[in-house]
Structure 1
Amino acid sequence: MDRITKSLLNDYQDQFQLENYKEDKLFEMFSSYAVISHYARGEFDIQDVVTGGTNDSGIDGLAFIASGQLIDSVDKLTNLLTKQFQVVPEIKMIFIQSKTSPKFDSGDILKFWHGVKRFLVDESHTRRNKDIEEKAEILRYITEHPLNFESISVKLFYVTTGNYYGVKSETLEGVKQDIHQEIREINITRDVEMNFLGAFEIQKYYKKTKHRPFAKIKFERHVLLPEIEDIEQAFIGYLPLVEFKKLIVDQEGELKKGIYYDNVRDFKGEVNQVNQDIAKTMRSSKPDQLAVLNNGITIVAKKITQSRDMFHLEDYQIVNGCQTSHMIYHYFEEIDIHNVGVQVKLIVAENDQVTNEIIKATNNQTPVKREELLALSDYQKQLEDYYHSFERSSLRLYYERRSDQYAFDNEIKKVRVIDIKQQLRSFTAMFLEQPELSKLRFEDLTKQISGRYFLKNHQHIVYYTAAFALYKLEYFFRNRRIDSKYRKFTYHLLMILKYEINQEAKKPRLNSSDMEKYCNNIIHTLNSDLALNYFHRAIQLIEQLVPDLHNKSIPKSRILAKNIKKAVYNR
């Protein structure tokens, strides 16, 4: 393995605190993370995509991506269809095979392809591990409900540490064409890509996960606004979609990552009435009316370099216009992007507080749910500061109240960053004692626990404790100290853990000063060599209460949480 790839592999291992992995397994995870990060929005659990092992069908990584969202279960896919889309615009199936060898061996490539083919035709008699079988359930749902998916694409990646263009041959090109043809003959899709990645290519994919957003656009029809306090510069104008495309689409034609995360709303799909109106305009004979019928896009950048009409944006985010941007993306191929444009407000502001005020103002002009503005609340800032108060490195976590807040800081390990979703899921399980809610869609979760979280009188230590417990449990799962078969009970284990550690101690109210002592005991224990032992004790209770650990419906049931309470109270 060359020095650069080895260095990036070490960086990945360090960022995700992966211990005692052999180099080939680590490279599988590294490759899958680098490739899938290119298509999936936000961070994801690598265990949800890595499939390598015995009976893996020759596939090391497998992911389904629907509109930028990683789909790891049929439930998540059906939720997407009921809550966001009537028809999913596109779903991508991504297959990855990784080799630490520098060779592009046609025999190994064909073995990989045969595994993919068996998966696509759903040869049920083929021996598969549980990871592959769970992915097969998703594929079955897709093929049984074809009207719910506008388009399907298949992307294969064969990754080595070699130089593909140095060994590129007619044989490999022939293999690629044969694979393309055979996939098309399966009649799932005709949109097929077979990609060979060498060291340089996989390095490039991984480096992209570290880059801040940047773009260069020609913004001819703009007006410079008068001087505004705390705003370095501000422009307003009309931007043709051919230029707007440069802001939201990367060189491979995919939606850019990391440019919507400050936006308080995720993409709602065409189920949303506003988006239906945008689609109607785009499909009409007068799509150029978009500029006057739509409220436009607000972009905040940390830095802009201007030369006449050319604007170079660095570290920018779309803080209002997420819905419009996604809808425009889906219609790029159907309209004249040179003669259709959109209103754009471009603001240069380095101050986070100013950015927050802009987000609040621009997103309050149309109805926005309270939970969608959570990241901008005063309590969030206080909680972020509370996290920073832990100076010991072993206790250091970073509360990401704004998504992507720490994404480009290489000094901060990714696994130590807790986002708002992880925070509320762990809190709901551990202290509200409703672990069955923790795996709901985030929007559904916040509805279920509305009025019971992030209250002004809540002790901050409660939220940190829940997050630290989740961090430690995920560490043990990642490093195979706890069997992955218990992963589905993650949130139930958090609920049990506090009882195992504090035993007879009564749980104080969330606003009580007694919560400090109660939580500090949990934190101290989790930061000691006893942590794993306490998680194993929690697992023993799960085993006593759950006769069938493979039953997927049990973690979703309220009954298990009730039985846990009975068991701990009757000791």
Structure 2
Amino acid sequence: MHRIVKAHLNNFVKSCGYELEDEADQFEMFSAHCVIASRFTSTFDMGDVKTGPGEDGIDGVAILIDEAVCSSEEDAESIFSAERRNHDVDVVFIQAKRSETFDLGDFLKFKESILRFVNQDQYQIQNDVLANARKVFDVVVSQVPKIRNGKPSLTVRYVTTGLYREPGALEIAIKDFETQLNEFGLFYVIDIKFIDRDELTKLWVETYSGIDASLSISSFAALPNIADIDEAYLVVVSAKEFVKNLLTTSDGSLRTQVFEENVRAFLGNDNLVNKSIAETLQSTAKSRFPVLNNGITIVSPDVRVQGNTIHLKNFQIVNGCQTSNVLYENQDCLDSVMVNLKIVETKNEDVFSELVKATNSQSKVDDTQFLSLLPVSKRIEQFFNSFGEQDKLYFERRDRQYAGLDVQAIKIYSLHNAAKCVAAMYCERPDLASRYPKRVYDELGAQIFADDSKEILFYSACFAMYKLTVLFSNGGIPQELKKLKWHMLPLLRLMIVGNKKFQFSSKDAQKSAQTILDALTTDESLKKIAKKLTQVCRRFKDETSDRLKRQAILVEMIESIK
């Protein structure tokens, strides 16, 4: 393996706690992480993506619905049961080889595996991840009227550590593959690429780096001093340059990361407002766009104006998701089109949150999309920050909040993952925790995010998952039991504080959570817990993924420790 790739791989392995995995598996996980996390902002469980034994030539598969990995048929059905008719669906396949060559035979095997997956009527596979992904794919195909553009998109990546020099045989193989897939008529966009070491390195860096961009200014006005706002500007810029510099990745894809704080997803080209914007851009009236459109609001912790150029670091589009997407979709029509931007510099997370809520309150938004703005979320973040470095975890109230900082991935817990940890450990719903995040919020959100919920419940649940991750990485708990990690959380609680029930706002909740934290920070106690968890869970290590989605299995586990 090339030295540069090896160095990045080692960094990834250490950050994520994969030290005990063999190098081939480490590289497969690294490749999957780079391909998916560089394009989509939501966190995902590697166990839902990496295929493992019986993989049939596919090392990783992910079906992303609205930019979140969907790993079960039930979750897919639940998502499509809503009235929304413009879901974004991306199907991603990954093959990763440590060698420095691009082998035609391996690629053809990968190709045939994908063709079987997407087109075989009776798909027979022994691998749980592939089997579950195919069930999700079947649901997707049955629900294409509710998918943007009427079909999902397909992304195929073949990764090695060599340099890709476009050899004729492989280029022909890609074209043949595209032709076969087009004949099936299942995908709106088909994107097949070979990823070499340079591209892999670039993808890896994109997963943890902040996004920097610059724009030439046609005109601008600085706003007067505003409390807690470092700087604020009203600017007019070229729409074409805005799309190229702020919205587009190096491979021409939409840079979805910049919309992660914009709580309204793109409503699609069929939306009446978006259709009207597109018609304006395609007409002779497009030069009047700055006076017809309200513009776009951008927030950044670092804004610099130098001459006629404005520089932005780690920016977010907090209002104007619809306008931005329509501009991207119509980028060939943007000659002479200008767009208004409101650019705000602030490092204050509370101000950031206020801007998000204020600029997105004019139309109906799902309440769960505002969870990060709740007072309880702010208190949870403050509680996490109160710990010293040795035991400190990081609560990611805002996506990519710690991008570019030297923080181990296993110590960062997004709001979604924190909620899942609480749901598993204190609500005894590990079956929900391993599912699509919205299921947790629909069933338990009101209880978990109540105004008077104790912050320590979140920290202790995340700390327990962190300790389990460390135990898996150092051999304290066998790797073969990793698929039971969500079930281990309620078992761990029962082992430490018993089966006592309490309100999330009570003194008993505070006391129980503190007792759990104390037990997990004592080496001797942690070893005993790990040993007992291993003994209990070994009896269930061969359970199918379908069984693990049922509440009944936790009841059996609890009975076995009494």
Q: TM-score range by the shorter chain?
A: 0.7 to 0.9
Deviation of residue 507 (structure 1)?
4.2
Matching residue of 1:464 = 459
Gaps of 5+ in 2: none
Deviation of residue 171 (structure 1)?
2.6
SS at match of 1:306: strand
CA-to-aligned-CA distance 1:25-74 (integer Å, 9 cap, x gap): 21111111111223322222222211142x21111112223443333233
**1:293/1:56 Cα in 2 relative to 1: closer, same or farther (>3 Å)?**
same
Question: How many angstroms apart in 1 are the aligned matches of 2:175 and 2:557?
Answer: 59
- State how 1:86-485 maps to structure 2 within 5 Å: 86-88=85-87, 91-122=89-120, 124=122, 126-149=124-147, 150=149, 151-165=151-165, 168-189=166-187, 191-245=189-243, 246-263=245-262, 265-267=263-265, 269-270=267-268, 276-284=271-279, 288=286, 295-329=294-328, 331-332=329-330, 336-338=333-335, 340=337, 342-366=339-363, 371-391=368-388, 393=390, 395-409=391-405, 411-435=406-430, 437-438=432-433, 442-443=437-438, 445-449=440-444, 451-455=446-450, 457-474=452-469, 481=477
SS at match of 1:258: helix
Question: How many angstroms apart in 2 are the aligned matches of 1:449 and 1:95?
Answer: 33
Question: How many angstroms apart in 2 are the aligned matches of 1:339 and 1:52?
Answer: 52
CA-to-aligned-CA distance 1:244-298 (integer Å, 9 cap, x gap): 31322212222224323334x2516459xxx933223135467758756654321
Deviation of residue 9 (structure 1)?
0.4
Question: How many angstroms apart in 1 are the aligned matches of 2:229 and 2:34?
Answer: 36
TM-score, normalising length from structure 1?
Answer: 0.84
In structure 2, give the amino acid aligned to 1:33: H
SS at match of 1:259: helix
Question: How many angstroms apart in 1 are the aligned matches of 2:199 and 2:527?
Answer: 41
Gaps of 5+ in 1: none
In structure 1, give the amino acid aligned to 2:373: L
In structure 1, give the amino acid aligned to 2:258: I
Aligned mate of 1:522, from 512, 516, 522: 516
**1:179/1:540 Cα in 2 relative to 1: closer, same or farther (>3 Å)?**
closer
SS at match of 2:64: strand
CA-to-aligned-CA distance 1:530-566 (integer Å, 9 cap, x gap): 23234346647979xxxx9437377356x777x5799
Question: How many angstroms apart in 1 are the aligned matches of 2:16 and 2:133?
Answer: 24
Deviation of residue 451 (structure 1)?
4.7
Aligned residues: 550
Question: How many angstroms apart in 2 are the aligned matches of 1:553 and 1:84?
Answer: 30
Matching residue of 2:73 = 74
SS at match of 1:304: strand
State whether residues 300 and 319 of structure 1, in contact with CA within 8 Å, keep that contact through their aligned partners in structure 2.
yes
SS at match of 2:318: strand
Deviation of residue 129 (structure 1)?
1.6
**1:203/1:320 Cα in 2 relative to 1: closer, same or farther (>3 Å)?**
same
SS at match of 1:20: coil
Q: CA RMSD in A?
A: 3.5
State whether residues 72 and 435 of structure 2, in contact with CA within 8 Å, keep that contact through their aligned partners in structure 1.
no
Question: How many angstroms apart in 1 are the aligned matches of 2:167 and 2:212?
Answer: 36
Question: How many angstroms apart in 2 are the aligned matches of 1:467 and 1:14?
Answer: 19
Question: How many angstroms apart in 1 are the aligned matches of 2:252 and 2:298?
Answer: 21
Question: How many angstroms apart in 2 are the aligned matches of 1:285 and 1:386?
Answer: 49
TM-score, normalising length from structure 2?
Answer: 0.85
Deviation of residue 491 (structure 1)?
4.5
Question: How many angstroms apart in 1 are the aligned matches of 2:345 and 2:453?
Answer: 36
Deviation of residue 235 (structure 1)?
1.6
Question: How many angstroms apart in 1 are the aligned matches of 2:310 and 2:505?
Answer: 50
Question: How many angstroms apart in 2 are the aligned matches of 1:540 and 1:128?
Answer: 21
In structure 2, give the amino acid aligned to 1:56: E
SS at match of 1:59: coil
Deviation of residue 8 (structure 1)?
0.0
Deviation of residue 309 (structure 1)?
3.4
Deviation of residue 200 (structure 1)?
1.5
**1:24/1:445 Cα in 2 relative to 1: closer, same or farther (>3 Å)?**
closer
State whether residues 424 and 487 of structure 2, in contact with CA within 8 Å, keep that contact through their aligned partners in structure 1.
yes
**1:318/1:240 Cα in 2 relative to 1: closer, same or farther (>3 Å)?**
same
Matching residue of 1:46 = 46
State whether residues 499 and 568 of structure 1, in contact with CA within 8 Å, keep that contact through their aligned partners in structure 2.
no
State whether residues 495 and 529 of structure 2, in contact with CA within 8 Å, keep that contact through their aligned partners in structure 1.
no
Aligned mate of 2:492, from 488, 497, 503: 497
Question: How many angstroms apart in 2 are the aligned matches of 1:244 and 1:517?
Answer: 52
Deviation of residue 509 (structure 1)?
4.2
Question: How many angstroms apart in 1 are the aligned matches of 2:281 and 2:256?
Answer: 30
Question: How many angstroms apart in 2 are the aligned matches of 1:512 and 1:87?
Answer: 42
Question: How many angstroms apart in 2 are the aligned matches of 1:502 and 1:196?
Answer: 52
SS at match of 2:41: coil
**1:434/1:163 Cα in 2 relative to 1: closer, same or farther (>3 Å)?**
closer
State whether residues 423 and 467 of structure 1, in contact with CA within 8 Å, keep that contact through their aligned partners in structure 2.
yes
State whether residues 298 and 315 of structure 2, in contact with CA within 8 Å, keep that contact through their aligned partners in structure 1.
yes
**1:503/1:141 Cα in 2 relative to 1: closer, same or farther (>3 Å)?**
closer
CA-to-aligned-CA distance 1:226-257 (integer Å, 9 cap, x gap): 33344332222444532331322212222224
State whether residues 117 and 123 of structure 2, in contact with CA within 8 Å, keep that contact through their aligned partners in structure 1.
no
SS at match of 2:546: coil
In structure 2, give the amino acid aligned to 1:102: E
Question: How many angstroms apart in 1 are the aligned matches of 2:292 and 2:116?
Answer: 49
State whether residues 448 and 504 of structure 2, in contact with CA within 8 Å, keep that contact through their aligned partners in structure 1.
no
State whether residues 508 and 518 of structure 1, in contact with CA within 8 Å, keep that contact through their aligned partners in structure 2.
no
State whether residues 229 and 345 of structure 2, in contact with CA within 8 Å, keep that contact through their aligned partners in structure 1.
yes
Matching residue of 2:13 = 13
Identical residues among aligned pairs (%): 27
SS at match of 2:314: strand
Question: How many angstroms apart in 2 are the aligned matches of 1:540 and 1:494?
Answer: 15
Deviation of residue 6 (structure 1)?
0.8
**1:33/1:318 Cα in 2 relative to 1: closer, same or farther (>3 Å)?**
same
CA-to-aligned-CA distance 1:294-345 (integer Å, 9 cap, x gap): 543211122233344332211211122334434544x326x72235554421
Q: Does 1:510 align with 2:504?
A: yes
In structure 2, give the amino acid aligned to 1:16: C
**1:251/1:360 Cα in 2 relative to 1: closer, same or farther (>3 Å)?**
same
Deviation of residue 522 (structure 1)?
2.1
**1:119/1:436 Cα in 2 relative to 1: closer, same or farther (>3 Å)?**
closer
In structure 2, give the amino acid aligned to 1:214: D
In structure 2, give the amino acid aligned to 1:203: T
